[in-house]
Amino acid sequence: MELSARRQPPTVRLRRLAAELRRLRTEADLTREEVSEQTSINPATLYRIETARVRPQRRTLMAMLDTYGITDEDQRSELIALSQQATQLGWLQTYESELPELYTTYISFETEARSVHNYESLFVPGLLQTQDYARAVIKAGLPLATEEDIHARIEARIRRQESLRKKDPIRLWTIVDEAVLHRQVGSTKVTAEQLEVLAEAATQPHITLQVIPFDSGAHAGMPGSFVIMDFPNPADPALVYIDSMAGDLFLEHEADVRRFTTTFEHLQATALDPTSSIKAIEAQIHKIKEKGGAG
């Protein structure tokens, strides 16, 4: 039995389907090898289905449910519907062929998240970046990228921000190191405008922003940036995302999520409170304008 021919980046629904199929196989007391013997589905294919790498075709899914003894029609219909919805990418589908697979995977998760907790040590979080700031960050970070690649990434980054403006917006809690406020990205005008947008965003009821001042010394976030995403459906466990020079990494084991959640809590305690953080941003904007660089 074959999988859906088109490879799609994992989505929240595909991840939920994979978890449910793992659970059903475990409850049926079957190994992947035993399921393979009974269904003729390759064990490697079963592994990819159970780890949300691919979506099973309908006949593959039906064979798995038959083997697991799932006869309840409502349950079968629910899983079939979940499978059909698993590859719905919305606006992201426009950029699917232009963006790296792991980046589209991240965006698909972020789009459906209930809350995002983001720590950044070097630059303004993507959800709060202006277009000019984003261009400067992307061009510097990808020196070999074509203008088309840069344009696609900028557009995708700006489209991501719609999650903050929808009727039921993502709840964003972001913590940045003070270095983010002082680093010039693009021109001084671009940097000042970005900080003004950051200060304004921090006043929104669904956005919390904190700054870790230099005088706080060493802190728990110094090893690097990370994102923790929570989802509305209890069946979708929290997820940690790390973007580094070594590549993108997703962590979903409970121990890993707990470790990064604890780290974020330490950063919350170390950082300035939200009101003081806005004042720190405004003070830096004033310094830039005093030097005449924002004109």
Q: Is the pLDDT of residue 199 over 60?
A: yes
Give the C-alpha separation, 121 to 165, whole Å.
25
Q: Is 171 helix (H, G, I), strand (E, B) or coil?
A: strand
Tell me which fold the domain 100-290 belongs to: Endonuclease; Chain A (3.30.870)
Give the DSSP H/E element, type plus range, for residue 212: strand 207-212
CATH of domain 12-85: 1.10.260.40
pTM of the predicted model, to two decimals?
0.78
Q: Which amino acid is at 184?
A: Q
The highest-confidence range among 14-28, 53-67, 205-219, by mean pLDDT, is 205-219
Most confident of 53-67, 145-159, 234-248, 269-283: 269-283
Neighbours of 87 (CB within 10 A): 19
The arithmetic mean of pLDDT across residues 62-70, rounded, is 93
Q: 111 pLDDT exceeds 80?
A: yes
Intrachain domains 12-85 and 100-290 with the same fold = no
- Section 167-189 average pLDDT: 96
pLDDT in tens, 144-175: 999 999 999 999 999 999 999 999 999 999 99
Q: What is the DSSP string of 13-24?
A: HHHHHHHHHHHH
How far CA 111 is from CA of 29, 44, 81, 164, 173, in Å, comes to 35, 30, 20, 10, 15
Closest CA relative to residue 9, chosen from 112, 119, 81, 116: 112
* Cross-strand pairs, 176: 120, 211
Q: What percent of the chain has pLDDT over 90?
A: 65
Can you give the pLDDT at residue 6?
A: 39
pLDDT of the residue at 5 = 37
Q: Among 27-31, 103-107, 146-150, 264-268, where is mean pLDDT lowest?
A: 103-107
Domain boundary assignment for the chain: 12-85, 100-290
